[in-house]
Homo-oligomer: A and B are copies of this chain.
């Protein structure tokens, strides 16, 4: 169709996100690691405020940012073999990501204000929506550096961190290849799911021909607190999740267990982190047939308040020493014992997972569970021993199944001039 435009006065651009949100807050570098509070920018003409999380800073947002309510996570396979094309896309993505996290369209006037005889450069479904604390966080998988067959597509092999290797096969793993890996991962978190979905979709769109979506996962509700300012949510086993998580306010723990330090490994990762994802199916039916007593024994905490065994309140100290009436108060195979720093020579991780429900499993049950996300300074010395201990011994294993997996090097934050991954490529 190429008939001329019959629509005069159709008010194009009038309600673009750009118009709606204003330009306050874009491009202002976030100062340092502790940027937790969303900055408020007042949408013009609206009585509400739209919380935004700064995009630029020493670290990427979406890690120690208080976990937003909703998630859309995607991994991409890189199709091009041109390093220049890949860098070009990362630059484009950076500009788009900064815009979208500030509540703007992916591109200026992208949805409706552009050339009418060209495809819009923003897909438009977030036009009337606020930033909703959107964060976008990028990570690079081991396969970006070297492929399984050893190919070094982008001249990155020498810069591959020692910590970035495919996770070992854990006892009981039932991984589906189509839910594993990926050259690049992008985590989109926001309080409005449409904002998170829009962001991933527009990055995918801009990447057309250069990258393709490998898998994606919607998380409908956060399962972790990552800040002391947050209420602990519940996962789909009905238990509070995140009680003994590292919280953003624990700056020492964050520095020790989340951020890669300058001397750790590859210099380009300083200020970065490692992202581990595990898609964990819950076997809802056996769990639902289990007594409350058994459920609490398996986790090692009470279901109601989340208090540890023997405690009264959620944040009472976890007592791994005392004896109960018949054995230890927290049993030997209880989840919280096996995952605890006390049990694991002091190691910890920061969890940032989401509940999912993806239709039916074809056998009359809901396909539901926990999309586990963790950030750590070194997956090999933190996540792997922890998951090994759980995979071998956790009483919870009777009720869960790991079906997806990924590990990604999350580069540091981008400063005013740079782009996602610039420390790796430049």
Residues of chain A at the chain B interface (Cβ within 8 Å) = 1, 3-7, 9-16, 70, 72, 74, 77, 111-112, 114-120, 122-128, 178, 192-194, 197, 200-201, 204-205, 208, 212-218, 220-221, 231, 233-239, 284-285, 288-297, 302-305, 307, 309-313, 324-327, 329, 331, 355, 357-360, 362, 364-366, 368
Contact = CB atoms under 8 A, between A and B. Distances in A.
B217 A359 contact: yes
Contact of A123 (B4, B127, B231, B236): B236
Contact of A293 (B72, B116, B208): B116
A194 B193 CA distance: 13
B234 A124 contact: yes
Given A6-B310, A204-B366, A360-B213, A293 B11 contact: no
7 contacts: A6-B310, A11-B307, A117-B292, A128-B231, A193-B221, A201-B357, A217-B359
A112 B178 contact: no
Contact of A216 (B122, B329, B359): B359
B357 A292 contact: no
B11 A313 contact: yes
Given A194-B221, A304-B11, A359-B216, A326 B4 contact: yes
A304 B13 contact: yes
Contacts of A220: 70, 193-194, 197, 218, 220
Contacts of A294: 1
A181 B288 CA distance: 27
Task: Indicate the member of A74, A122, A197 with the most B CB atoms within 10 Å.
Answer: A197
Contacts of A3: 297, 324-327
A330 to B, nearest CB: 9
A20 to B, nearest CB: 12
A14 to B, nearest CB: 6
A194 B359 contact: no
A183 to B, nearest CB: 13
